[in-house]
Structure 1
Amino acid sequence: MIQLLTPTHWKDYELIDCGDFEKLERFGELILIRPEPQAVWDKALPESEWQKRHHIKFKGRSATTGEWVKKNTKTPDRWHIEYKNPDAAIKFRLGLTSFKHVGIFPEQAVNWDYISSNVKKFKTPNPKVLNLFAYTGGASLIANAAGAETTHVDSIKQVVTWANENQEISGLNNIRWVVEDALKFVKRELKRGKKYNGIILDPPAYGHGPNGEKWKLEDHIKEMMRDVVQLLDPEEHFLILNTYSLGFSSVIIENLVKSAYPQVENFETGELYLQATAGPKLPLGVFGKFCKIKA
């Protein structure tokens, strides 16, 4: 069954409005305006309301880079927010990057709930979780906070350092940090005979490994899925595949998962979105996920 899922209980984040290729968001106490290519409709709130409410706005110099414009020079470049669910609590250090990102993808909170819930349900002592394309570590943190031995893999050293900062301010420890191309890491783990109870994949449409390895979603995701399912513990596991490629649908995700893992149980697929307080829904990727829990 195809689902539409959005975070519902996050006090430190709010999508206020979106439209005209922009989004108005609150992270903690700061309200930001950022570009949003999916928001092709009109804004629900008047432009005057956007201008009155925001503290910082991102202005692009190109399709990928730009600068932040603050109303008040005392507004910080870095600040902290928290995420809580019934199973775990984590914190993030946010920051204004030149790529319009602030260090978090809020729609992923739905997947964080799935991760921590399954880790808590596992009968396996000290379950092992692998987070690939792991960015600043939201999924790694929540798995660790819920009690999993967590391995975090990303090809960019700076974001792994950022994820380590998030671990420290969350009061967590012992996450295994790996700076490597995700596909190479998976192949090496296969040769070692490693198994994981949970695997999270949130691959970009395009990317590069630390040694110049090229990643293109449609070219490499089939190979990745075929390899990564072999790392799953056959008795107890979960897997999440999340993509933010405009060309991918939930049906494509379903076909990928079922082709790579025909014995899949409890499979779910659908679309992640953020519900704006002003009314619109902002689509932000498609997902497939499944789990198996020991009786």
Structure 2
Amino acid sequence: MYNLLTPNIASYELLDSGNYEKLERFGEYILARPEPQAVWDKSLSDEIWQKKASAIFKKTKGRDQLSPEERGEWHNIKKMPEKWLMNYEQGKTKLKFKLSLSSFKHVGIFPEQAANWRYIEEKISLMKDGKNALQQAPKVLNLFAYTGGASLVAKANGADITHVDSVKQVISWSRENMEASNLTDIRWVIEDALKFVKREVKRGKKYNGIILDPPAYGRGPDGEKWVLEEGLNELLKNCLELLDENHHFFILNLYSMGFSAVIAETIIRQNKTDIQNPEMGELVLEDSFQKKLPLGVFYRFSTV
């Protein structure tokens, strides 16, 4: 079944989109930043965007050596802090995220992922309290974990979480989010994701949940080169070996515009034939004018 997943977060709102930009509210602040998928017209005028926005991201020339993203600068239209906290509440999960204006237009949270966070909460709850419940805390692995949204959701719902990212500064950001959310005991690993999972396979480790959110391009802490098209197949093969046979969930997100959910499905099904409860589709944010903005594809499955 092909699904369009649109989360609903009280502290976030996509106000408008178009002309390769998006206007978003994160808590009490409104930001305007580039969005290559917003190929349609804006519904609001440029004047209204200027009036509403607390800060606007403007591209500057030049790209990072291994990133397709252009650097830029934030222009403060109205006074706002460089860092602020945003509340997140869904179901039983209540978290706080530290947000910040970065030179790559990101702010520290991908709100479309809340659709997967809800899924994580549901699956961990079933593993803990449902039929044939586990006798111990579910073990969850979050790869390319960024600022830790999925890690925090898993931990808040009782999982034993291992959080892997290759960037030390991002791990520090994740730790601040954990502390702001009054959580403890997440296992932090600063390492190349493929190296980590290969070692875990050799050790015979098993996980009840695996979350993958690989970028199109990246670098490991020792300069390892990551290119999605070249590394995804090998990474998925190793990750699937780490899944507990009887109790598991698996989430793969892909942001590269050249990849579809069908590619994810084909690779996974070639390496695992006994998939239960599969779902695939797109992560979508809908603006105030009912325009649907696609922000990545997903493939996920679970035994619960």
SS at match of 1:65: strand
Q: Secondary structure at the match of 2:104?
A: coil
Cα deviations across residues 261-287 of structure 1 (Å, max 9, x unaligned)?
Answer: 111110100001101012211100000
Check conservation: 1:44, 1:280, Cα contact below 8 A: no
Q: Indicate conservation of the 8 Å contact 1:45/1:278, yes or no.
A: no
Alignment of 1:1-295 (within 5 A): 1-8=1-8, 10-62=9-61, 64-72=70-78, 74-122=79-127, 123-124=133-134, 125-293=136-304
Q: CA deviation at 1:46?
A: 1.7
What is the TM-score of this pair, normalised by structure 1? 0.97
1:154/1:179 contact within 8 Å kept: yes
Q: 1:102 deviation in Å?
A: 0.4
| 2-structure distance, mates of 1:201, 1:119 | 17
TM-score of the aligned structures, taking structure 2 as reference length: 0.94
Number of residue pairs aligned between Structure 1 and Structure 2? 291
Percent pairwise identity: 57
Partner amino acid, structure 2, of 1:223: E
Structure 2 residue runs without a partner (length 5+)? 62-68, 128-132
Spell out, residue by residue over 1:120-173, the C-alpha distance to the aligned partner (whole angstroms, 9 max, x if none).
110112110000000000000000000000000000000000000000000000
RMSD over aligned Cα atoms: 0.9
Q: Aligned partners of 2:261, 2:60: CA distance in 1, in Å?
A: 33
**Contact in 2 for aligned 1:267/1:289 (Cα 8 Å):** yes
Q: Distance in 2 between matches of 1:75 and 1:47?
A: 21
Between the aligned partners of 1:64 and 1:210, the Cα distance in structure 2 is 22
| Helix, strand or coil at the partner of 2:179 | helix
Query: Retained in 2: the 8 A contact 1:205–1:217?
Result: yes
AA aligned to 1:45 is L
Q: Is the partner of 1:61 in helix, strand or coil?
A: strand
**Contact in 2 for aligned 1:77/1:95 (Cα 8 Å):** yes
> Could you tell me how far apart the structure 2 residues matched to 1:285 and 1:82 are?
23
Where in structure 1 are there 5+ consecutive unaligned residues?
none
Q: What is the CA distance between 1:87 and its match in structure 2?
A: 2.9
Q: Which ranges of 4 or more aligned residues in structure 1 deviate by more than 6 Å?
A: none
